Amino acid sequence: MKKFYAISGMTCDSCKATIYQNLMELHEVESVEIDREKGEAIISMTSKIEISTLQNTLPSKFPFQKKYLIIILLKMIQF
């Protein structure tokens, strides 16, 4: 399953790499796609992961927030 999240605090590619590496350490995570400019992450997982688990995996300067699918769909249809 894929889940969409907003992530704050990414200011450089090193931040993006830190988030990617930390999330990939979770056994349930299959893949992570991060867009630093948009402050978004798409996480493919084998089973549900609580947002608190995801947040605890990262340094506190990267707050996580679940992004609702309707917001993603609206962004996709904008020109």
The order of strands in the sheet holding 2-7 is: 29-35, 40-45, 2-7, 64-66
Question: Which two tokens mark 22?
Answer: 């930390």
Would you give the distance in Å from CA 20 to the centre of its chain?
A: 8
Domain boundaries, the chain: 2-77
pLDDT tens digits along 21-72 = 999 999 999 999 999 999 999 999 999 999 899 999 998 888 877 765 555 5
Q: What is the CATH number of domain 2-77?
A: 3.30.70.100
pLDDT at 73: 54
| pTM of the full structure | 0.78
Bridge partners of residue 29, in order along the sequence: 45
**Which of 8-12, 60-64, 74-78 has the highest average model confidence (pLDDT)?**
8-12
In order, the DSSP letters of 4-57 are: EEEE----SHHHHHHHHHHHHTSTTEEEEEEETTTTEEEEEESS---HHHHHHH
